[in-house]
Chain A
């Protein structure tokens, strides 16, 4: 069974009198453990695809099965629960809570999952140690470097042990050296068997994945499998 199965997914927006077809009848399958990059120029529909994959947005038509469950007809609260359980987000701008320290930022998904304080703290600490920030748990985002902030975000994304790690331009706000560090972290996570979906417009970043989906005008233009580098 595929982890992700999109069947004829369309997403249309109404902008005034004009209808925008962000996605047109997209069908796609992603297996557990895959490391996929989604590429495309701006306006191609890659952000919409990421939002639909991440259950932040619902398709206008079509069917989306995530982990065997149809999520395309779910309401706001049900989707929130799916996001909490199944998906870990990493954003270009990190999106950490500025007034909370690293530990509390990582604890956040666990709070909404209803995990007890003691267990929450332990789990969050472990996640921070996994990304190499065991000594920075009480620092606030503004006391951390860009690379460290993104690591906190990765720890937050992983803390609930989601099915998918969904990263939207994770290196877009980092210099090339720290960008490489983050990509190395992703490589490590991929090797451990995590499913990673990476949205980017940089060719050399996308090349580090095992599969590249190119989106153009709301359609999948190409689906390329890469040889495993080692």
Chain B
């Protein structure tokens, strides 16, 4: 009960003291303001990035496995992997024959080529060789026309599907379907146009692309000799079991004896997400450390000004002790003052951070979360209490006779 009264009195004194030195309080808390702004902005940016990443990734689907020569994340030395056999189209067809009938299997090969239509030239187009199952594995949708059929893939038909940006450049007035475009020196009939997909992570353009039957890719459209096999297993349950099954089928295709290691990798977005989370945690950790330093510097500033405050009010401390304030009461009084100054800084910082987040959210994914805001305020109050402790302790231990005598 007494403690509560002393705290209320402490709060009142703190408010009076800050009111009497408004400018000083604001200048003192500047370090805390900057610290809190950076902490919250850092958190907001990381959260925004994570959210953007997950939206981008979920467009592909986490139930798709990619069988490739190379792993996405190197667990083994690269020179060992160099000896792995290439995965050719024939392996892909063998895989399809042995695959679980519920799976959708797509054979993919990629390259970067130049497309022409009349005098119009599109360079650096991301050319993808696919089978007809890409509609399912890549979750494609169309703004015009259709995708190629199994027969067209098997028959090496020169047909293509254009990405939204390529189609708009070549055919600004629509009517792409039925026209002929040239990829390198070969003519292809446009049979469909993909719907606009936007940018991956807000950076990589997914619409500057063209799809052709994978069976044609070997005609000099890519310099990678191999392909990758995309397997959509359907359903997110038992993903690890599905991965094992995919792996077993591929080992069978490769005729690997049970003792041999895999000579291929089964990649998935799952691992990609894990890696991304890991990286974003590291960035967050480093960022928090740096912003923690700025809070630390702010705390030193608070400690400094609290020493000044204690010295200025030595006589007041003497009076309070004379009328019966114990050490605890004086300690609480100055701790509360330090905490209130820091909390004010935290609130101002949070306000600024909200404004800035709102500003950058127009250009870059960023969201301010409630937990981050609460954490920021908690940290600023804690900084105040830690930084205020030494000055408050000095005040609490003052001898009342000396304190009363001071000018």
Contacts and interface: CB of A to CB of B under 8 A. Distances in A.
Interface of A: 51, 54, 56-57, 76-77, 80-81, 83-85, 89, 91, 95-97, 99-100, 108-109, 111-115, 156, 160
B9 interface: yes
B292 interface: no
A80 B404 contact: no
B102 interface: no
B323 A89 contact: yes
Contacts of A113: 324
Most chain B beta carbons < 10 A, residue from A77, A109, A112, A115: A112
Given A51-B401, A56-B401, A111-B5, A85 B323 contact: no
Contact of A95 (B5, B9, B315, B324): B315
B329 A99 contact: no
Nearest to A104: B12
B400 interface: yes
Contacts of A115: 5
Given A112-B329, A114-B2, A83 B324 contact: yes
A91 B404 contact: yes
Contacts of A112: 6, 320, 323-326, 329
A97 B316 contact: yes
Contacts, number: 64
Nearest to A52: B401
Given A95-B319, A99-B17, A114-B1, 13 more contacts: A56-B322, A57-B401, A80-B326, A81-B324, A84-B323, A85-B324, A95-B322, A96-B319, A99-B16, A109-B324, A112-B323, A112-B326, A113-B324
Interface residues of B, number: 25
B251 interface: no
Interface string B377-407: 0000000000000000000000011001000
Interface of B: 1-2, 5-6, 9, 16-17, 20, 315-316, 318-329, 400-401, 404
A193 B28 CA distance: 52
A162 to B, nearest CB: 10
Contact of A56 (B1, B2, B328, B404): B404
20 contacts: A54-B322, A56-B400, A56-B404, A80-B325, A80-B327, A81-B326, A84-B323, A95-B318, A95-B322, A95-B404, A97-B316, A99-B17, A99-B20, A111-B6, A111-B9, A112-B6, A112-B324, A113-B324, A114-B5, A160-B324
A100 B324 contact: no
Contacts of B401: 51, 56-57
A89 B318 CA distance: 12
A85 B326 CA distance: 13
Contacts of A100: 16
Contacts of A57: 401
A81 B327 CA distance: 11
Contacts of A81: 324, 326
A91 B323 CA distance: 12
Contacts of B9: 111
A164 to B, nearest CB: 13
Closest 8 A/B residue pairs (Cβ): A84-B324, A114-B2, A112-B324, A109-B323, A80-B326, A77-B326, A99-B16, A95-B319
